[in-house]
């Protein structure tokens, strides 16, 4: 039920702001690094939708659609997901590095799995203005 409400709100916001300035970030992170391993062929993708007027942001990942916090600065934008454990996951996109619609990005996870388990993904996000 919660997913349907969030989806309805998201669709409503996107419909109202079609002319207002919505941005979609389709992110692909092939490089993964943790305390114990590094992988150059990671298959991790995440998608963000950001409304430039309302500043509402949503993330579509492997657990479906969820609202995230967005912080836009002069050089980039960061999305923050808060978890029930008290940990956070952040994605920062360097808008100064944008070339041919793609920008460099990093996704950091500060997970608590029987102790602290930090990890990062490195990649790019395709940026599309709607």
- Domains annotated on the chain, with CATH: 2-129 (2.40.160)
Angstrom distance (rounded) from CA 6 to CA 12: 10
Q: What is the pLDDT of residue 59?
A: 95
Residues 53/21, Cβ–Cβ less than 8 Å: yes
What is the pLDDT tens value at each position of the chain, 130 positions in all? 444 433 333 344 344 334 458 999 999 999 999 888 888 888 899 999 999 999 999 999 777 889 999 999 999 999 999 988 888 999 999 999 988 899 999 999 988 878 888 899 999 999 998 7
pLDDT at 75: 95
* Distance in angstroms (rounded) separating the CA atoms of residues 33 and 121: 6
Q: Determine the Cα–Cα distance for residues 7 and 4; give it in Å rounded to an integer.
A: 5
So what's the pLDDT on residue 20? 56
Categorise residue 36: left if φ over 0, alpha if ψ from -120 to 50, beta otherwise. Answer: alpha
Is-contact 19 28, C-beta < 8 A?
A: no
The dihedral through the CA atoms of 78, 66, 88, 86 has a sign that is positive
């Amino acid at each position: 039920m919660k997913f349907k409400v969030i989806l309805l709100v998201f669709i409503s916001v996107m419909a109202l702001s079609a002319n207002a300035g919505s941005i979609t970030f389709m992110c692909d992170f092939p490089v993964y690094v943790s305390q114990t391993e590094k992988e150059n062929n990671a298959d991790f993708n995440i998608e963000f939708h950001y409304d430039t007027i309302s500043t509402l942001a949503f993330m579509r990942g492997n657990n479906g659609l969820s609202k995230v916090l967005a912080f836009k600065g002069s050089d980039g934008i960061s999305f923050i997901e808060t978890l029930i454990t008290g940990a956070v996951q952040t994605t920062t996109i360097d808008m100064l590095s944008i070339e041919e619609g793609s920008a460099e990005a990093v996704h950091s996870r500060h997970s608590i799995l029987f102790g602290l388990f930090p990890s990062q993904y490195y990649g790019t996000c395709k940026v599309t203005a709607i």
